[in-house]
Amino acid sequence: MNTMTIAIDGPAAAGKSTVAKKVAEKLSIIYVDTGAMYRALTWKAIQENVTLEDETALTELLKNTELKLVQSPMGQKVVLNGDDVSEAIRTNEVTNQVSIVAKHKSVREEMVKRQQELVEEQGVVMDGRDIGTHVLPNADVKIFMIASVEERAERRHKENKQKGYESNLEEIKSDIRKRDEIDSNRKTAPLVKAEDAIEVDTTSLSIEEVVDKIIAIVKEKQHREG
Ligand code: CDP
Ligand code: CDP
């Protein structure tokens, strides 16, 4: 098999992007972080004072915005109209509002179109919420990654500490719950496990264990299909 398309979906802080990046490296294919695209649009909308409930205005804004995911040895950079916004899109202000932006049907349609155009001939590892169900419905491997909300909040809390800032565990837990709730209950392309996805519970697994598990699933699939 020449190409390998891998879809990884799941709730916030399940470990998708960390694991997806490593899987892509091991398989020498690109990694696409679709959440970063919704975050970038949210950041831009806040900058431009666009009401986040205004679907028409947001769609217009997106259509006039150039969004690039640039692969670099330091990781993936998010470039918006030529500016590196990789850091700016990770603030709490963006995190706590991105699910409102991601609810809109016409915003999602434009995002899905752009995401599908990013697939390379050698393949892709793409993570998000609707990859297995809408963006790459024919993906070779679909993973639905989950972990308990307690563990996910702990992980984000630890991550914040490592980055040098204090955060409140209960607040993180409540924010994660709120975002999962909006993502899972929206009308357009909600967060659900694709019928043919394999569920991987990472609650008590290390990053390496999850990576190994996914690589094993990929190898098994390649072996079966010759
Ligand atoms: O990394 P984290 O789990 O915090 O979130 P993310 O992957 O950066 O995604 C941020 C938000 O974008 C999600 O909570 C969703 O509201 C939205 N999103 C989406 O709707 N569909 C995707 N394919 C990816 C992200
Ligand atoms: O992309 P997503 O929001 O699903 O999660 P992430 O940003 O990849 O992972 C959230 C945090 O959990 C990161 O700090 C990872 O290093 C950590 N993590 C972990 O401790 N154990 C795992 N099995 C996976 C991720």
| Residue set of the binding site | 10-18
Q: What does each of the 226 residues of the chain score in pLDDT, given as a tens digit? A: 568 999 999 999 999 999 999 999 999 999 999 999 999 999 999 999 999 999 999 999 999 999 999 987 777 899 999 999 999 999 999 999 999 999 999 999 999 999 999 998 899 999 999 999 999 999 999 999 999 999 999 999 999 999 898 899 999 999 999 999 999 999 999 999 999 999 999 999 999 999 999 999 999 999 988 7
CA distance linking residue 68 with residue 76, whole number of Å: 10
Ligand lying nearest the CA atom of residue 214 = 2
Closest CA to 120 of 197, 38, 36, 32: 32
Ligand 1 atom at minimum distance from 103 CA: 20
> Counting Cβ atoms within 10 Å, is residue 109 exposed (0-12), middle (13-18) or buried (19+)?
middle
Ligand lying nearest the CA atom of residue 172 = 1
Give this prediction's pTM: 0.97
Pocket mutation for ligand 1, best pick of 85, 91, 98 (most atoms within 8 Å of C-beta): 98
- CA-only gyration radius of the chain, Å: 17
17: Cβ below 6 Å to ligand 2?
Answer: yes
160: Cβ below 6 Å to ligand 2?
Answer: no
Closest CA to 155 of 194, 210, 89, 88: 210
The residue type found at 140 is D
Domain residue extents for the chain: 5-225
Check whether domain 5-225 has CATH 3.40.50.300, yes or no: yes
